[in-house]
């Protein structure tokens, strides 16, 4: 168990990583980029978690696992984090499209949630 780190050490490490990633972007502007990305990633992770649960409950029925009632949020197939992270060009455009697709698929819950995120 010698590899465990404390909560404070983790927070310090993550904050340092965020500062490195931020580069020359003003801290105020940085929020405009990072918060939508974090929320987007979390939506996709939750969708995957719920998909796995539904898949297990249905003995592997993929169609059942995709049913909207099994998910808090819908993630259109081409808008999933896994798809976007494979892009190596026009990433900003791909993210904007994914954000808008997720907002449209979840009108009642997420309309405009990503705002004008780049």
Q: Is the pLDDT of residue 53 over 70?
A: yes
Within a domain: 5: no
- Mean pLDDT, residues 91-98: 92
Full residue range of the structural domain in which residue 56 is found = 30-110
Residue 25: phi and psi, rounded to 5, are -70, 135
The answer to whether residue 84 sits within a structural domain is: yes
- The structure's pTM equals 0.74
**Structural domain contains residue 6:** no
Asked whether residue 115 is assigned to any structural domain, the reply reads: no
Residue 106: what pLDDT?
95
Q: Is 116 a domain residue?
A: no
In the chain, how many domains are there?
1
Reported as a pLDDT band with limits 50, 70 and 90, residue 79 is very high
User: Is 83 within the bounds of a domain?
Assistant: yes
Contact 79, 97 (CB under 8 A): yes
C-alpha distance from residue 14 to each of 22, 35, 50, 61 (Å): 12, 14, 27, 38
Residue 37 lies in a domain: yes
Convert the pLDDT of each residue in 64-73 to its tens digit.
999 999 999 9
Query: Has residue 118 been placed in a domain?
Result: no
């Amino acid at each position: 168990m010698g590899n465990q780190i404390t909560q404070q050490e983790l927070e310090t490490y993550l904050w340092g990583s965020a500062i490195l990633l931020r580069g020359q972007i003003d801290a105020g502007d940085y929020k405009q980029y990072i918060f939508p990305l974090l929320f987007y990633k979390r939506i996709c992770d939750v969708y995957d978690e719920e998909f796995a649960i539904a898949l297990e409950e249905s003995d592997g029925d993929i169609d059942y696992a995709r049913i909207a009632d099994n998910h808090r949020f819908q993630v259109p197939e081409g808008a999933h984090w896994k798809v976007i992270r494979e892009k190596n060009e026009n990433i900003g455009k791909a993210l904007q499209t994914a954000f808008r697709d997720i907002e449209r698929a979840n009108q009642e819950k997420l309309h405009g949630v990503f705002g004008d995120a780049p």
